[in-house]
Chain A
Amino acid sequence: MIKKETSNSKKDLIKKMTLLDCKTGETLSVSEIRLEEALQYRLQILGIVPGSQVHVLHKKRRGAMVIRSRGARYALGAGAAKGITGVKAL
């Protein structure tokens, strides 16, 4: 299914990326999470929601990563990182 981008904000068009694209040491300002319902919910109760920031502490080649969110550390599989989009925070 292809969803048409309705937003034409410049920032979105230029910098939008998924967490999977982030390198070690980078931080993502989350704008959207689109994952399977149960997983999305589990992220939500951990405070990983649109508007939050996720910092990549470690990353492996296949995309599995260790992230920091709200002071806690989580191991996150590539499949989950792919569904988290946002813009790179400076």
Chain B
Amino acid sequence: MTIAFAGNPNCGKTTLFNAYTGASLKVANWPGVTVEKKEGTCTYKGERHTLVDLPGTYSLSSYTMEEKLTRQFLLSGGADVIIDVADASCLTRNLYLTMQLTELGIPVVLALNMMDILKKRGAKLDVRRLSEKLGIPVVPLSARRREGLDILLDTALEAAKSKTTPTAPQFAQMEAQEQFAWIEATVAACLTDNRPRAFTDRIDNALLHPFWGLLIFFAIMAVVFLLTFTLGDLAKIPLEAALDQLYSAVGRGLDAIHTAPWLSSLITDGILAGVGGILTFLPNIVLLFFALAFLEDSGYMARVAYIMDGIMGSLGMSGRAFIPMLLGFGCTVPAIMASRALESRRDRLRVMLVTPFMSCSARLPVYILIAGAFFGKFAPLAAFSMYVIGLLTAILIARCTKSLHKKEKQPPLLLELPDYKAPAMRTVVLYVWEKVRDYLTRAGTTIFLASIVLWVLLNFGPGGFVTSMEDSFAAWIGRGAAFLLTPCGLGMWQIAVALIAGIAAKEVVVSSLAVLFGIENISSVAGSTALRASLAAYGFGAANAYALMVFVLLYIPCAAALATIRSESKSWLWTAGAAVMQIGVAWILSAVAYRIGCLFI
């Protein structure tokens, strides 16, 4: 049997789908997370069933991409039965889609999700009566608490086998106003006490306040980043100690089996220094994503669109465009993909242009390393200033591009704000794990490869294996690029090599520095002291360090981000333009930062 899950955005469809299939699709408490249909399987009572998670839609007409996809799939006979997931705490609006689904000639079962929230509110729903009125089976459940899941599956399979098509009133022939009148009358007959959600309203009074709301938002973000640094650094200490043990153990082991010097150098100076250096930043990454997941699942993220609508409006963008930009603090790639949810192409392109300036988590290791080495107790401040500079640059670029396509009017904001809820641990853990897995995968693949390539470039020159890095291919390439970076205070071949390698992924800048200066465990206190000493030998001081951080913040985020810009904009020209602009902006602003830095330091 093929079971399709349809429903409004943010009604818990994906949570339900994950509960059945054991899949770990991303769930978020803001609408529009599922943009493509996803398939999974589940075995129930000895039978295998295919489950299809359709994107959230409010109706079955064909205005948006999600609606078209859902409609086409259902009309082509892809499903034996539709499970229509509805948010019981907002029944009236959800039933509009239900009524349209009942007219397709496919069995429909209504899954009333979030019954726990309804019960908590003290409301009572007459499920049997609702089922009679709608002419379809209705099953109450809570996907989050995993209640009522078996009953729903039993009912759906029963309906699919007996091919009971719905016996609803002729909905399509009514006017929009009539349709809603019918739905409201139905809900009124079945639901007693639909009290307004006082809890959410009370919190909104503070969080959506025109002045305090903006202040609270910035305070929340500041706390998030402070926690990321302080707690993350605490958790890093045992991790570093463990890695130190590993390094010396591997070193001893390689000596014991008389490994060739070049191979032992590749393993310890290349791979271990590169990949190991990245792993120590895991606590910071986990904390950052834990905080972002918490904000998303609580329902706050959607509010940010409203809070920022005024500021975004003055930049000629809808407040909704702020969500992709905010996600950019996590990772640029999904952030650029989230721009798909915006209606106008112009908005999408501009979001793609500015989102890479939002400082993603891959840049964090660079700040922690460089700021830690050069700014002592002001390190968190120096790192936090990167986030501010990134945001200001994004705003500046948005302002500059505002006049493009002046005639096309910006579409006004229209976004559902979900109820606040205590974030579900399962969802948060799943979200964090997904990111951590990405990070580890990158450490194991891209960064692993980049470390090896870099080691080869550093240890071989035109004349074969070199004893001094100064004669290597990398030095040769780096010196070619270094003079371009001199105005930014970054005119060292090692820095140029690290920056070029960083296009593969920003963390590679850290691992490259580790390899280039031969520092093991670069994120430890000893490592950062060694780095500062190595750099100081070239006259590289605090002003240069700050310029380096600015450059890393602003230049091409990573190869994957560029590929995403290409696939989302479907334009090579736009992608190339974006890359050139990123390098240009990075060059100009890091030069400015260096000059200003020289005045003070």
Q: Decide if A68 is an interface residue (CB 8 Å cutoff).
A: yes
Nearest CB on B from A46, distance (A): 6
| Contact across chains for A45 and B61 when beta carbons are under 8 A apart | yes
Q: Write out, one digit per residue, whether chain B residues 304-321 have a CB within 8 A of any chain A CB (1) or not (0).
A: 011001100100001100
Q: Among the listed A36, A41, A58, A73, which residue makes an inter-chain contact with B416, where contact means beta carbons less than 8 Å apart?
A: A73
Q: How far is the CB of A85 from chain B (nearest CB, A)?
A: 15
Interface readout for A50-84 with B: 1 if CB under 8 Å, 0 if not?
A: 11100001101110101010111111111111000
Q: Would you mind naming 28 contact pairs between A and B with Cβ atoms under 8 Å apart?
A: A38-B63, A38-B411, A46-B416, A47-B96, A49-B176, A49-B180, A52-B177, A57-B201, A58-B204, A58-B306, A62-B309, A62-B313, A64-B309, A70-B90, A70-B184, A71-B91, A71-B92, A73-B200, A73-B416, A73-B418, A74-B414, A74-B415, A75-B413, A75-B415, A77-B313, A77-B414, A79-B409, A79-B410
Tell me the smallest distance from the CB of A29 to a CB of chain B, in Å: 12
CB distance from A74 to the nearest CB of B (A): 5
Q: Which residues of A contact B416 (CB under 8 A)?
A: 46, 72-75
B59 contacts chain A at the CB level, 8 A cutoff: yes
Q: Point out which of B181, B309, B310, B414 has the most chain A C-beta atoms below 10 A from its C-beta.
A: B414
A37 to chain B, nearest CB (A): 9
Chain A residues with CB under 8 A of B204: 57-58, 66
Interface check B155, CB cutoff 8 A: no
A39 contacts B by Cβ under 8 Å: yes
- Set of chain A residues within 8 Å of B200, measured between Cβ atoms: 73
B414 touches A47 (CB 8 A): no
Interface residues in B205-220 by Cβ distance below 8 A to A read: 205, 208-210
Complex partner residue of B417 from A74, A79, A81, CB under 8 angstroms: A74
Nearest Cβ on chain A to B343's Cβ, whole angstroms = 7
CB of A89 within 8 Å of the partner chain: no
Residue pair B181, A77 in contact (C-beta under 8 Å)? no
Q: How far is the CA of A60 from the CA of B93 in the complex (A)?
A: 26
Residues in A neighbouring B210, C-beta threshold 8 A:
60-61
Interface membership of A42, Cβ < 8 A: yes
Contact B310 A80 (CB under 8 A): no
Given the interface pairs A73-B416, A80-B413, the reply to whether A42 lies near B63 with Cβ below 8 Å is yes
Q: Say yes or no for B58: interface residue by CB 8 A criterion.
A: yes
Q: Is the interface of A mostly helix, strand, loop or mixed?
A: mixed
- For the complex, count residues of A whose C-beta is within 8 A of B: 34
Cα A58 to Cα B307 with chains together (Å)? 11
- The contact string, 1 if C-beta is below 8 Å from chain A, for chain B 381-416, is 000000000000000000000000000011111111
Report the minimal beta-carbon distance from A7 to chain B, rounded to whole angstroms.
Answer: 18
**Smallest distance from the beta carbon of B180 to chain A beta carbons, Å?**
5
Residue from B176, B184, B409, B414 within 8 A of A42 (CB atoms): B414
Determine whether B196 belongs to the interface, using a CB cutoff of 8 Å to chain A: yes
Chain A residues, Cβ within 8 Å of B176:
44, 49
Question: Cα distance A68–B200 when bound, in Å?
Answer: 12
Residues of B within 8 A of A62 (CB): 309-310, 313
CB within 8 Å of A: which B568-598 residues: none
B417 A66 Cβ-Cβ under 8 A = yes
Looking across the interface, which residue of chain A has its beta carbon closest to that of B417? A73
Identify 13 new A-B residue pairs, CB closer than 8 A, beyond the known A45-B59, A71-B89, A75-B415. A39-B414, A42-B414, A47-B93, A50-B177, A51-B177, A62-B309, A62-B310, A66-B417, A68-B196, A70-B180, A75-B302, A75-B306, A76-B412
How many chain-B residues does the 8 Å CB contact rule pick out? 46
Neighbouring B residues of A57 by C-beta, 8 Å: 201, 204
Would you call A64 and B180 a contact (CB within 8 A)?
A: no
Asked whether any CB of chain A lies closer than 8 Å to the CB of B264, the reply is: no
Q: Which residue of A lies closest to B176 (CB)?
A: A49
Is B177's CB under 8 angstroms from A49's CB?
A: yes
B-chain residues with CB within 8 Å of residue A38 when the two chains form the complex:
63, 343, 411
Contact B58 A45 (CB under 8 A): yes
How far is A71 from B87 in the complex, measured between Cα atoms in Å? 11
CA distance A69 to B414 in the complex (A): 13
Known contacts A45-B61, A57-B204, A66-B208: A51-B181 contact under CB 8 Å: yes
Among the listed A52, A68, A76, which residue makes an inter-chain contact with B413, where contact means beta carbons less than 8 Å apart?
Answer: A76
- State in angstroms the CA–CA spacing of A84 and B62 once bound together: 23
A48 to B310, alpha carbons, bound, how many Å? 23
The reply to whether the CB of B21 lies closer than 8 angstroms to some CB of chain A is: no
Chain A residues with CB under 8 A of B209: 58
Residue of A nearest to B207 (CB): A58
- The complex places the Cα of A45 from the Cα of B418 at a distance, in Å, of 17
Contacts of A39 in B (CB 8 A): 411-412, 414
B260 to chain A, nearest CB (A): 64
Write out the residue numbers on chain A whose beta carbons fall within 8 Å of the beta carbon of B409.
79
Q: How far is the CA of A42 from the CA of B303 in the complex (A)?
A: 19
Our pick among A45, A58, A70, A81 for the contact of B92 (Cβ within 8 Å) is: A70
CB neighbours of B58 from chain A (8 A): 42, 45-46
A73 to B305, CA, bound (A): 14
Residues of A contacting B177 with CB < 8 Å? 49-52
Within the assembled complex, what's the spacing in Å between the Cα atoms of A65 and B407?
A: 25
When distances are taken between beta carbons in the complex, the residues of chain B under 8 Å from A71 are: 89-93, 194
Give the complex CA separation of A70 and B187 in angstroms.
11
Which chain A residues border B302 with CB–CB below 8 Å?
A: 75
* A11 vs B89: C-alpha distance when bound (angstroms): 35
Interface pairs A-B: 10 shortest CB-CB: A77-B412, A79-B412, A77-B413, A75-B306, A80-B412, A45-B59, A45-B58, A70-B92, A73-B417, A64-B309
**Which of B184, B208, B303, B318 has the most C-beta atoms of chain A within 10 angstroms of its own C-beta?**
B208
A64 in contact with B413 (CB, 8 Å)? yes
Q: A51: nearest residue on chain B (CB-CB)?
A: B177
Q: Tell me which residues from 13 to 41 in chain A have a Cβ below 8 Å from any Cβ of chain B.
A: 36, 38-39, 41
A5 to B132, CA, bound (A): 45
A37 to B310, CA, bound (A): 24
B305 lies within 8 A of A75 (CB): yes
Contact call B413/A45, Cβ cutoff below 8 A: no
Q: Is the CB of A41 within 8 A of B306?
A: no
The complex places the Cα of A81 from the Cα of B412 at a distance, in Å, of 9
